[in-house]
Chains A and B, each alone.
Chain A
Amino acid sequence: MKTDELIKISTSLCAGSSILVVFLIFGYTFLEGLPVLIKYGPSFLTGLYWKPYADPPQFGLLPTIVGTLSVSGLAISMATPIGVLAAIYLAEYSGGGFLKSLIESATQLLVSIPSVVLGFIGLVFLVPTLAKTFGGWGFSILAGGIVLAIMTLPHIICISSDAIKAVPREYRYASLALGASRWQTIRRVVLPVAKSGILASIILGLGNAIGETMAVLMVIGNPEVPYIPTSILDRVRVLTSTIVIEFNYAVWGSDQMRALFAIGVTLFIITAVVNLVAFYILGGRIYAKKA
């Protein structure tokens, strides 16, 4: 009896550690960023100029936030149609067998492929190709969007196809028995029922896209002074890339370093909200058995 109690307590501590870790991460990042957040107030988020080396330094994040949203938005709008179509195929049409497991394995592989490898290929292949095709730098919102679309696609496929698979068979039988065709059944019966799950997969994809660092960083150009982009061929900065780039130069304890932590807090809050929305849409079960 005694061992059982001991095991129960120690495993519950393991489970509880996830709570502790989240509090530690948020607490330390927040405390480190707080002085800058207090000093600059709302102008940290709405300011137009990010000039950490000016005197006095300016920390305005608006162009970077616009950059983040445009890159992620572009990625999601490219990945969503392909992802949902692929999910429909995997859940409804494919019969199983070798081909299906090949597709699923490749999708799983793409989920965790090192993002720096993707960024490197973007840098040596995608960026020069875009520069040749459209002129200009090649480093652009478009390049970032394409790379991010590749990274979010497998997430959308996995979660959407699980949402579609979860629709009870009886719904399909009822529709087919009424004489509806297969596609009519999918469009009028299956997809409306799976709608919230598919929506959640898109929201989660967006959260991933906003938090992604290396792959995006290497292809978006990161101008010295970020500006509000006016075309998808403009170079931009995103929240994550600003942290990595300036981390090398910022001095521990300086306002610039604190500003980077304040960006971290901003990222934490944005992605937490995005993920929690998806969490509630899915009723507390985000990840599928296989993803």
Chain B
Amino acid sequence: MRRRPEILMEVLTWIASFIPAIIAGTLISFLLFNGASVINWKFVTGFPERGGLEGGILPAIIGSIYISALCMLIAAPIGIGAGTYLAEYAPENIFTKVVRFFVELLAGIPSIVIGLFGYVFLVHGLGLGFSILSGAIALAFMILPWTIRVSEEAIRAVPREYRYASLALGASKWKTIRNVVYAAARPAIITGLMLGLGKAVGETAVVMMTAGMGITGYIPVSPLDSARTLPVHLYLIAGEIANTSEGLKMAYGTALVLLALFLMVSIPSIMFRNYFIRRLYGDAG
């Protein structure tokens, strides 16, 4: 009889560990079930008509890709640079302690506060207006802690022997980092950045307050154009027209396209990441 709590607890923890997978699976199948019939060529390549009740979501798709790509262009170099400094150059001193502290602080700031800040600093202060550029900079601030962290971890995970070998051959520190350390850390850095990109693709509040939310009947070209992204489009049509059956269908379709975009970025990076991390740290990691 003493064995009963043993088995009970193992089963309970086993069930609990499946809950995230069950939730994720349910969410994805729910949207597939309700949204798949909406997706067609016209929906993906068309423009919104009648306030989003009809037509397609092309401007929002382009807007999302544009803003996320620009955001990565800003956040990735700074993140990799900071990660390199923390992992390779910095002695453990007061400066790195302060930096780490502020990285955690920044990571904890709610996205809505970054949105407010973007609105006062970028949209009004710098006069960038509601634009793709404002949205991308604000989003870059949001994912900066993430890019710093994944870069530092990836670089730290490179075995010391690689560096010793390169230095022993007479390479300078920077040459070693560039040719040896980055080469070894690249898969982990790239997959880490891709996960950050997934966060940027799905973010709503920050983009809404900095890139604008007017329904756009045009494809944004200049970084100073305002744009509506997929999450913002979904939020707005969910609030405005989802009580009509036409509007609800469009909302399901938008949600499914957004989810697909997010999954295309995230799933490969999660899979490769687990593989690379296992290879770098061994199974114990």
Interchain CB contact (< 8 A) of B20 among A121, A154, A247, A264: A154
Which of A38-46, A48-56, A80-88 participates in binding chain B?
Answer: A80-88
Q: Is the CB of A267 within 8 A of B23?
A: no
A289 and B262: CB pair below 8 A? no
Interface check A139, CB cutoff 8 A: no
Whether the Cβ atoms of A28 and B121 lie closer than 8 Å is yes
Q: Of the listed stretches B43-51, B202-210, B217-225, name the one at the interface; the rest are far from the partner chain.
A: B202-210
Min C-beta distance of A184 to chain B, whole Å: 9
B116 engages A108 (CB within 8 Å): no
Q: In the complex, what distance in Å separates the CA atom of A165 from the CA atom of B12?
A: 19
Q: Tell me if A85 and B112 are in contact (CB < 8 A).
A: no
* Alpha-carbon distance between A35 and B134 when the two chains are bound, in angstroms: 25
Q: Please, how many angstroms separate the alpha-carbon atoms of A279 and B79 in the complex?
A: 21
Assess whether B145 is in contact with A157, with CB atoms less than 8 Å apart: no
Bound Cα distance A110, B157 (Å)? 25
Q: Is the CB of B81 within 8 A of A214?
A: no
| Majority-rule SS of A interface residues | helix
Query: Which of A28, A101, A109 contacts B24, CB < 8 Å?
Result: A109
Chain B hits for A114, CB < 8 A? 201-204, 231, 258-259, 262
Q: Of all chain A residues, which has the CB nearest B96?
A: A15
Tell me what chain B mostly uses at the interface: helix, strand, loop, or mixed: helix
Q: What's the least CB distance linking B199 to chain A, in Å?
A: 5
| CA of A124 to CA of B247, assembled, Å | 12
* Among candidates B89, B98, B204, residue contacting A11 with C-beta atoms closer than 8 Å: B89
Interface presence of A182 (CB below 8 A):
yes
Residues 264-285 (chain B) with a chain A CB within 8 angstroms: 266-267, 270-271, 273-274, 277, 281, 283, 285
A89, A121, A183, A260: the one within 8 Å of B14 (CB): A89
Within 8 Å by CB of B141, from A25, A154, A240, A252, lies A25
A159 at interface by CB-CB < 8 Å: no
User: A19 contacts B98, CB within 8 Å?
Assistant: yes
A18 CA to B107 CA in the complex, in Å? 10
Query: Considering the chains assembled together, what is the distance between the CA atoms of A67 and B114 in angstroms?
Result: 22
Residues of the B chain whose Cβ atoms lie less than 8 Å from the Cβ of A212: 110
B274→A15 contact, CB < 8 A = no
Distance from B60 Cβ to chain A, minimum over Cβ atoms (Å) = 12
Find out whether the CB atom of A182 lies under 8 angstroms from the CB atom of B6: yes
Enumerate 30 A-B pairs (CB-CB under 8 Å) in ascending A order. Answer: A3-B172, A7-B174, A8-B85, A8-B89, A11-B81, A11-B85, A14-B82, A18-B82, A18-B106, A18-B145, A22-B106, A25-B117, A29-B113, A90-B17, A103-B17, A103-B18, A104-B274, A112-B198, A113-B262, A114-B258, A115-B202, A116-B202, A124-B248, A181-B2, A182-B10, A211-B111, A213-B205, A214-B204, A286-B107, A289-B281
Binding site for A on B (CB under 8 A): 2-3, 5-6, 9-10, 12-21, 23-25, 27, 30-31, 77-82, 84-86, 88-90, 95-117, 119-121, 124-125, 141, 144-145, 148-149, 153, 157, 172-174, 177, 195, 198-199, 201-205, 208-209, 231, 234-235, 238-239, 242, 248, 251-252, 255, 258-259, 262-263, 266-267, 270-271, 273-274, 277, 281, 283, 285
